[in-house]
Protein backbone atom coordinates (compact mmCIF):
# COMPACT_ATOMS: atom_id res chain seq x y z
CA UNK A 1 0.00 0.00 0.00
CA UNK A 2 1.27 3.42 -0.88
CA UNK A 3 0.52 6.24 1.51
CA UNK A 4 0.52 9.66 -0.06
CA UNK A 5 1.95 12.26 2.25
CA UNK A 6 0.60 15.72 1.44
CA UNK A 7 3.29 18.07 0.22
CA UNK A 8 2.52 20.61 2.92
CA UNK A 9 3.26 17.97 5.54
CA UNK A 10 6.62 17.25 3.91
CA UNK A 11 7.53 20.90 4.16
CA UNK A 12 6.32 21.11 7.75
CA UNK A 13 8.73 18.31 8.55
CA UNK A 14 11.57 19.92 6.60
CA UNK A 15 10.94 23.18 8.45
CA UNK A 16 11.30 21.35 11.73
CA UNK A 17 14.56 19.75 10.57
CA UNK A 18 15.99 23.09 9.44
CA UNK A 19 15.08 24.64 12.78
CA UNK A 20 16.71 21.74 14.64
CA UNK A 21 19.88 22.34 12.66
CA UNK A 22 20.08 26.01 13.62
CA UNK A 23 19.02 25.06 17.13
CA UNK A 24 22.10 22.82 17.25
CA UNK A 25 24.30 25.83 16.56
CA UNK A 26 22.55 27.73 19.35
CA UNK A 27 23.17 24.82 21.70
CA UNK A 28 26.84 24.86 20.74
CA UNK A 29 27.06 28.53 21.78
CA UNK A 30 26.17 27.30 25.22
CA UNK A 31 28.87 24.63 25.03
CA UNK A 32 26.50 21.68 25.26
CA UNK A 33 26.16 18.68 22.99
CA UNK A 34 23.18 19.05 20.64
CA UNK A 35 22.67 15.29 20.51
CA UNK A 36 22.22 15.10 24.27
CA UNK A 37 19.89 18.06 24.28
CA UNK A 38 17.75 16.75 21.46
CA UNK A 39 17.69 13.32 23.04
CA UNK A 40 16.35 14.89 26.23
CA UNK A 41 13.92 17.01 24.30
CA UNK A 42 12.42 14.45 21.98
CA UNK A 43 13.10 10.95 23.24
CA UNK A 44 12.77 11.36 26.99
CA UNK A 45 9.19 12.65 26.95
CA UNK A 46 8.20 9.54 25.00
CA UNK A 47 10.22 7.09 27.03
CA UNK A 48 7.35 5.90 29.19
CA UNK A 49 3.57 5.85 29.21
CA UNK A 50 3.43 8.28 32.11
CA UNK A 51 5.79 10.67 30.36
CA UNK A 52 3.57 10.54 27.30
CA UNK A 53 0.49 11.21 29.42
CA UNK A 54 2.23 14.29 30.77
CA UNK A 55 2.93 15.37 27.22
CA UNK A 56 -0.83 15.19 26.68
CA UNK A 57 -1.26 17.39 29.71
CA UNK A 58 1.24 19.95 28.44
CA UNK A 59 -0.20 20.01 24.94
CA UNK A 60 -3.77 20.67 26.09
CA UNK A 61 -3.62 24.47 26.42
CA UNK A 62 -1.57 24.68 23.22
CA UNK A 63 -4.23 22.82 21.26
CA UNK A 64 -6.90 25.09 22.66
CA UNK A 65 -5.11 28.35 21.85
CA UNK A 66 -4.13 26.98 18.45
CA UNK A 67 -7.76 26.16 17.79
CA UNK A 68 -8.80 29.61 18.95
CA UNK A 69 -6.34 31.19 16.54
CA UNK A 70 -7.66 29.14 13.62
CA UNK A 71 -11.29 30.06 14.26
CA UNK A 72 -10.52 33.78 14.13
CA UNK A 73 -8.09 33.54 11.24
CA UNK A 74 -10.61 31.68 9.08
CA UNK A 75 -12.68 34.86 9.25
CA UNK A 76 -9.52 36.86 8.46
CA UNK A 77 -9.25 38.20 12.00
CA UNK A 78 -5.77 37.93 13.43
CA UNK A 79 -6.28 37.23 17.11
CA UNK A 80 -2.95 37.88 18.78
CA UNK A 81 -4.82 38.49 22.01
CA UNK A 82 -5.17 34.84 22.96
CA UNK A 83 -2.87 35.29 25.92
CA UNK A 84 -5.03 38.01 27.44
CA UNK A 85 -8.24 36.09 26.77
CA UNK A 86 -6.72 33.01 28.36
CA UNK A 87 -5.58 34.95 31.42
CA UNK A 88 -8.86 36.71 32.06
CA UNK A 89 -10.79 33.49 31.48
CA UNK A 90 -8.51 31.83 34.01
CA UNK A 91 -9.00 34.60 36.55
CA UNK A 92 -12.78 34.50 36.16
CA UNK A 93 -12.74 30.74 36.56
CA UNK A 94 -10.55 30.93 39.64
CA UNK A 95 -12.98 33.40 41.18
CA UNK A 96 -16.19 31.51 40.38
CA UNK A 97 -14.52 28.34 41.62
CA UNK A 98 -14.39 29.81 45.12
CA UNK A 99 -18.10 30.74 45.31
CA UNK A 100 -20.42 27.74 45.48
CA UNK A 101 -19.35 24.99 47.86
CA UNK A 102 -22.71 23.22 47.59
CA UNK A 103 -22.84 22.69 43.84
CA UNK A 104 -22.09 19.19 42.60
CA UNK A 105 -18.93 19.06 40.43
CA UNK A 106 -20.79 17.95 37.31
CA UNK A 107 -22.73 21.23 37.35
CA UNK A 108 -20.04 23.38 38.86
CA UNK A 109 -17.20 22.70 36.44
CA UNK A 110 -19.36 23.31 33.33
CA UNK A 111 -20.64 26.51 34.95
CA UNK A 112 -17.09 27.70 35.58
CA UNK A 113 -16.14 26.90 32.02
CA UNK A 114 -19.11 28.77 30.60
CA UNK A 115 -18.20 31.83 32.61
CA UNK A 116 -14.56 31.59 31.55
CA UNK A 117 -15.72 31.32 27.96
CA UNK A 118 -17.95 34.36 28.28
CA UNK A 119 -15.13 36.41 29.74
CA UNK A 120 -12.70 35.25 27.06
CA UNK A 121 -15.30 35.95 24.38
CA UNK A 122 -15.91 39.48 25.62
CA UNK A 123 -12.19 40.24 25.75
CA UNK A 124 -11.94 38.86 22.22
CA UNK A 125 -14.92 40.86 21.02
CA UNK A 126 -13.39 44.13 22.15
CA UNK A 127 -10.63 44.29 19.50
CA UNK A 128 -13.13 42.95 16.99
CA UNK A 129 -15.49 45.82 17.66
CA UNK A 130 -12.64 48.32 17.65
CA UNK A 131 -11.62 47.06 14.24
CA UNK A 132 -15.03 46.92 12.64
CA UNK A 133 -16.42 50.06 14.19
CA UNK A 134 -13.33 52.28 14.19
CA UNK A 135 -10.94 50.59 11.80
CA UNK A 136 -8.33 49.98 14.51
CA UNK A 137 -5.92 47.26 13.44
CA UNK A 138 -6.58 44.20 15.60
CA UNK A 139 -2.90 43.36 15.40
CA UNK A 140 -1.92 46.28 17.59
CA UNK A 141 -4.97 46.33 19.83
CA UNK A 142 -4.87 42.63 20.67
CA UNK A 143 -1.24 42.82 21.71
CA UNK A 144 -1.87 45.92 23.80
CA UNK A 145 -4.86 44.25 25.43
CA UNK A 146 -2.63 41.34 26.42
CA UNK A 147 -0.53 43.71 28.48
CA UNK A 148 -3.65 45.27 29.96
CA UNK A 149 -4.96 41.84 30.98
CA UNK A 150 -1.60 40.89 32.42
CA UNK A 151 -1.36 44.04 34.53
CA UNK A 152 -5.01 43.73 35.53
CA UNK A 153 -4.39 40.29 36.98
CA UNK A 154 -1.30 41.47 38.81
CA UNK A 155 -3.35 44.40 40.08
CA UNK A 156 -6.15 42.15 41.35
CA UNK A 157 -3.83 39.68 43.00
CA UNK A 158 -1.04 41.94 44.31
CA UNK A 159 -3.52 44.67 45.13
CA UNK A 160 -5.07 42.22 47.57
CA UNK A 161 -8.52 42.21 45.99
CA UNK A 162 -8.43 38.48 45.32
CA UNK A 163 -5.39 36.95 46.92
CA UNK A 164 -4.45 33.88 48.87
CA UNK A 165 -4.17 34.98 52.49
CA UNK A 166 -0.76 33.42 53.09
CA UNK A 167 0.90 32.84 49.75
CA UNK A 168 2.17 35.71 47.64
CA UNK A 169 1.27 36.19 43.98
CA UNK A 170 -1.58 33.74 43.77
CA UNK A 171 -5.34 33.60 44.17
CA UNK A 172 -7.05 31.62 46.95
CA UNK A 173 -7.39 27.87 46.48
CA UNK A 174 -10.47 26.86 44.58
CA UNK A 175 -13.17 24.72 46.17
CA UNK A 176 -12.90 20.95 46.29
CA UNK A 177 -15.99 20.51 44.11
CA UNK A 178 -14.50 22.66 41.36
CA UNK A 179 -11.28 20.71 41.18
CA UNK A 180 -10.34 18.63 38.15
CA UNK A 181 -8.48 15.65 39.49
CA UNK A 182 -5.34 14.51 37.71
CA UNK A 183 -4.73 10.88 36.83
CA UNK A 184 -2.20 10.78 39.64
CA UNK A 185 -4.76 11.98 42.18
CA UNK A 186 -7.41 9.63 40.86
CA UNK A 187 -4.95 6.78 41.13
CA UNK A 188 -4.08 7.67 44.70
CA UNK A 189 -7.75 7.84 45.59
CA UNK A 190 -8.27 4.38 44.17
CA UNK A 191 -5.07 3.05 45.65
CA UNK A 192 -3.28 2.59 42.34
CA UNK A 193 0.29 3.80 42.06
CA UNK A 194 0.67 3.37 38.30
CA UNK A 195 -0.08 6.98 37.38
CA UNK A 196 2.06 8.62 39.99
CA UNK A 197 3.19 12.06 38.87
CA UNK A 198 0.82 12.22 35.91
CA UNK A 199 -0.79 15.65 35.84
CA UNK A 200 -3.13 14.84 32.96
CA UNK A 201 -6.77 15.61 33.68
CA UNK A 202 -10.12 15.67 31.91
CA UNK A 203 -9.33 18.96 30.20
CA UNK A 204 -7.42 16.98 27.58
CA UNK A 205 -10.61 15.22 26.56
CA UNK A 206 -12.45 18.55 26.50
CA UNK A 207 -9.74 19.88 24.17
CA UNK A 208 -9.99 16.92 21.81
CA UNK A 209 -13.79 17.35 21.72
CA UNK A 210 -13.33 21.04 20.99
CA UNK A 211 -11.02 20.23 18.08
CA UNK A 212 -13.62 17.85 16.71
CA UNK A 213 -16.47 20.35 17.15
CA UNK A 214 -14.55 23.14 15.49
CA UNK A 215 -13.78 20.84 12.58
CA UNK A 216 -17.50 20.10 12.18
CA UNK A 217 -18.36 23.75 12.53
CA UNK A 218 -15.90 24.95 9.92
CA UNK A 219 -16.32 22.20 7.36
CA UNK A 220 -19.87 20.93 7.67
CA UNK A 221 -22.16 23.75 8.72
CA UNK A 222 -23.54 26.86 7.08
CA UNK A 223 -21.88 28.99 9.71
CA UNK A 224 -18.52 27.51 8.84
CA UNK A 225 -19.25 28.14 5.19
CA UNK A 226 -19.93 31.78 5.97
CA UNK A 227 -16.85 32.16 8.15
CA UNK A 228 -14.70 30.74 5.37
CA UNK A 229 -16.38 32.86 2.72
CA UNK A 230 -15.97 36.08 4.68
CA UNK A 231 -12.36 35.24 5.47
CA UNK A 232 -11.46 34.44 1.89
CA UNK A 233 -13.32 37.28 0.20
CA UNK A 234 -14.96 39.91 2.32
CA UNK A 235 -16.32 41.95 -0.57
CA UNK A 236 -17.92 39.03 -2.37
CA UNK A 237 -19.49 37.83 0.86
CA UNK A 238 -20.99 41.20 1.65
CA UNK A 239 -22.31 41.55 -1.89
CA UNK A 240 -23.85 38.09 -1.57
CA UNK A 241 -26.15 38.55 1.37
CA UNK A 242 -23.83 37.89 4.26
CA UNK A 243 -23.42 40.10 7.25
CA UNK A 244 -19.65 40.08 7.25
CA UNK A 245 -19.29 42.17 10.39
CA UNK A 246 -21.53 39.92 12.42
CA UNK A 247 -19.73 36.84 11.19
CA UNK A 248 -16.30 38.29 11.96
CA UNK A 249 -17.42 39.32 15.43
CA UNK A 250 -18.85 35.87 16.08
CA UNK A 251 -15.57 34.32 15.02
CA UNK A 252 -13.64 36.63 17.35
CA UNK A 253 -16.01 35.85 20.20
CA UNK A 254 -15.73 32.11 19.62
CA UNK A 255 -11.97 32.41 19.37
CA UNK A 256 -11.88 34.32 22.65
CA UNK A 257 -14.20 31.78 24.27
CA UNK A 258 -11.95 28.88 23.33
CA UNK A 259 -8.90 30.78 24.57
CA UNK A 260 -10.85 31.59 27.74
CA UNK A 261 -10.97 27.94 28.81
CA UNK A 262 -7.60 26.98 27.35
CA UNK A 263 -5.91 26.88 30.74
CA UNK A 264 -8.70 25.19 32.74
CA UNK A 265 -6.57 22.10 33.16
CA UNK A 266 -4.02 24.22 34.99
CA UNK A 267 -6.37 26.53 36.91
CA UNK A 268 -8.86 23.91 38.08
CA UNK A 269 -6.29 21.12 38.14
CA UNK A 270 -2.63 21.61 38.91
CA UNK A 271 -2.61 25.09 40.43
CA UNK A 272 -6.07 25.21 42.04
CA UNK A 273 -6.25 28.86 41.14
CA UNK A 274 -4.26 31.48 39.26
CA UNK A 275 -0.60 32.14 39.96
CA UNK A 276 0.93 35.35 38.65
CA UNK A 277 2.75 34.56 35.42
CA UNK A 278 1.52 30.96 35.31
CA UNK A 279 1.18 31.02 31.53
CA UNK A 280 4.53 30.66 29.79
CA UNK A 281 3.01 32.33 26.72
CA UNK A 282 0.39 29.71 25.85
CA UNK A 283 -1.29 32.30 23.65
CA UNK A 284 1.64 32.83 21.34
CA UNK A 285 2.61 29.16 21.34
CA UNK A 286 -0.90 28.44 20.18
CA UNK A 287 -0.33 30.60 17.12
CA UNK A 288 2.77 28.57 16.38
CA UNK A 289 0.84 25.34 16.81
CA UNK A 290 -1.84 26.57 14.43
CA UNK A 291 0.75 27.46 11.81
CA UNK A 292 2.64 24.20 12.25
CA UNK A 293 -0.66 22.38 11.87
CA UNK A 294 -1.37 24.36 8.69
CA UNK A 295 -4.60 25.68 10.18
CA UNK A 296 -6.24 22.27 10.04
CA UNK A 297 -7.88 20.73 13.11
CA UNK A 298 -6.00 17.44 12.70
CA UNK A 299 -2.84 19.44 12.22
CA UNK A 300 -3.58 21.14 15.52
CA UNK A 301 -3.44 17.82 17.32
CA UNK A 302 -0.14 16.88 15.67
CA UNK A 303 1.34 20.36 16.09
CA UNK A 304 0.20 20.45 19.72
CA UNK A 305 1.71 17.02 20.30
CA UNK A 306 5.03 18.11 18.88
CA UNK A 307 5.16 21.34 20.86
CA UNK A 308 3.97 19.42 23.91
CA UNK A 309 6.85 16.99 23.55
CA UNK A 310 9.29 19.88 23.25
CA UNK A 311 7.87 21.71 26.24
CA UNK A 312 7.89 18.56 28.32
CA UNK A 313 11.37 17.74 27.04
CA UNK A 314 12.56 21.06 28.39
CA UNK A 315 12.22 19.61 31.86
CA UNK A 316 14.68 16.88 31.04
CA UNK A 317 17.04 19.33 29.33
CA UNK A 318 16.99 21.42 32.47
CA UNK A 319 17.75 18.41 34.61
CA UNK A 320 20.59 17.05 32.49
CA UNK A 321 22.29 20.02 30.82
CA UNK A 322 23.02 23.68 31.36
CA UNK A 323 20.93 24.78 28.36
CA UNK A 324 18.47 27.48 29.51
CA UNK A 325 14.80 26.68 29.27
CA UNK A 326 14.26 29.47 26.76
CA UNK A 327 15.92 27.23 24.21
CA UNK A 328 12.63 25.55 23.40
CA UNK A 329 10.96 28.87 22.70
CA UNK A 330 13.78 29.80 20.35
CA UNK A 331 13.46 26.50 18.56
CA UNK A 332 9.70 26.83 18.25
CA UNK A 333 9.93 30.29 16.73
CA UNK A 334 12.61 29.06 14.33
CA UNK A 335 10.20 26.37 13.20
CA UNK A 336 7.55 28.98 12.52
CA UNK A 337 9.98 31.15 10.59
CA UNK A 338 10.88 28.19 8.40
CA UNK A 339 7.24 27.32 7.93
CA UNK A 340 6.39 30.78 6.68
CA UNK A 341 9.43 30.55 4.43
CA UNK A 342 8.58 27.10 3.14
CA UNK A 343 6.34 28.17 0.21
CA UNK A 344 9.35 30.07 -1.11
CA UNK A 345 11.59 27.04 -0.90
CA UNK A 346 8.79 24.94 -2.33
CA UNK A 347 8.59 27.12 -5.43
CA UNK A 348 12.39 27.17 -5.74
CA UNK A 349 12.35 23.38 -5.54
CA UNK A 350 9.65 23.16 -8.23
CA UNK A 351 11.66 25.41 -10.53
CA UNK A 352 14.80 23.43 -9.90
CA UNK A 353 13.02 20.19 -10.70
CA UNK A 354 11.50 21.64 -13.84
CA UNK A 355 14.89 22.80 -14.99
CA UNK A 356 16.61 19.52 -14.29
CA UNK A 357 13.87 17.61 -16.06
CA UNK A 358 14.24 19.94 -19.04
CA UNK A 359 17.95 19.34 -18.97
CA UNK A 360 17.35 15.58 -18.96
CA UNK A 361 14.99 15.88 -21.90
CA UNK A 362 17.55 17.95 -23.75
CA UNK A 363 20.16 15.28 -23.09
CA UNK A 364 17.82 12.55 -24.25
CA UNK A 365 17.35 14.40 -27.54
Instruction: Find the binder of another protein among 176, 240, 362, 365 (CB under 8 A).
Output: 240
CB of 277 to another protein, least distance (A): 12
The CA-CA-CA angle for residues 41, 261, 123, to 5°, reads 115
CA distances for 197 relative to 52, 173, 183, angstroms: 12, 20, 8
Total residues contacting another protein (rule CB under 8 A)?
Answer: 62
Tell me: does residue 36 bind another protein (CB under 8 A).
no
Q: Least distance from C-beta 219 to another protein, angstroms?
A: 9
Judged by CB, which is closer to another protein: 196, or 360?
A: 360
Considering only residues 109 to 148 of the shown chain, the ones binding another protein according to CB under 8 A are 130, 134-137, 139-141, 143-145, 147-148
Determine which residue in the list 47, 243, 356, 357 makes contact with another protein, applying CB under 8 A. Answer: 243
Among 40, 77, 80, 274, the residue binding another protein under the rule CB under 8 A is: 80
What whole-number distance in Å separates Cα of residue 322 and Cα of residue 189? 37
Contact status: 223 vs another protein (CB under 8 A) = yes
CA 113 to chain centre: 17
For residue 48, give the nearest of 245, 210, 195, 182 by alpha carbon. Answer: 195
Interactions with another protein, residue window 251-290 (CB under 8 A): 281, 284, 287-288
By CB neighbour count within 10 A (0-12 exposed, 13-18 middle, 19+ buried), where does 174 fall? buried
Judged by CB under 8 A, the residue of 20, 248, 291, 301 near another protein is 291
User: Radius of gyration over alpha carbons of the chain, in Å?
Assistant: 22
Q: What are phi and psi of 275, to 5 degrees?
A: -110, 140
Q: In the window 304-363, what residues touch another protein (CB under 8 A)?
A: 324, 326-327, 329-330, 332-334, 336-337, 340-341, 343-344
Contact 179, 267 (CB under 8 A): no
- HSE, side-chain direction, 13 A CA sphere, residue 337: 11
Smallest distance, another protein to C-beta of residue 237, A = 8
Dihedral over Cα of 24, 49, 197, 111: its sign: positive
111/315 with CB nearer another protein: 315
Q: Report 13-32 residues binding another protein (CB under 8 A).
A: 26, 29-30
Task: Read off φ and ψ for residue 224, nearest 5 degrees.
Answer: -60, -40
Minimum separation from the CB atom of position 141 to another protein (A): 5
Long-range contacts of 347-354 (CB under 8 A, 24+ apart): none
User: Using CB under 8 A as the criterion, which residues of the chain lie in contact with another protein when the complex forms?
Assistant: 26, 29-30, 78, 80, 130, 134-137, 139-141, 143-145, 147-148, 151-152, 154-155, 158-159, 220-223, 225-226, 228-229, 232-233, 235-243, 281, 284, 287-288, 291, 324, 326-327, 329-330, 332-334, 336-337, 340-341, 343-344
Amino acid sequence: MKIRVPKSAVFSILSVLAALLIGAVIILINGENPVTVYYCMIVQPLSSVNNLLNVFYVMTPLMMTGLAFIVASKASMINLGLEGQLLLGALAAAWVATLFPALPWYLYIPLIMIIAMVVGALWGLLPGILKLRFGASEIVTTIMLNYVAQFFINFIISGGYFKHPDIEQRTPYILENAHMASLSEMGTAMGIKTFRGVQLNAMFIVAIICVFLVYILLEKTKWGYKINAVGLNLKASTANRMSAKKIMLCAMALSGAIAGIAAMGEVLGTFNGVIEGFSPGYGFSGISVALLGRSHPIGIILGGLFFGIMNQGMMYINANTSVPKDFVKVLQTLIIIFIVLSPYFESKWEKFREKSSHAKEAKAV
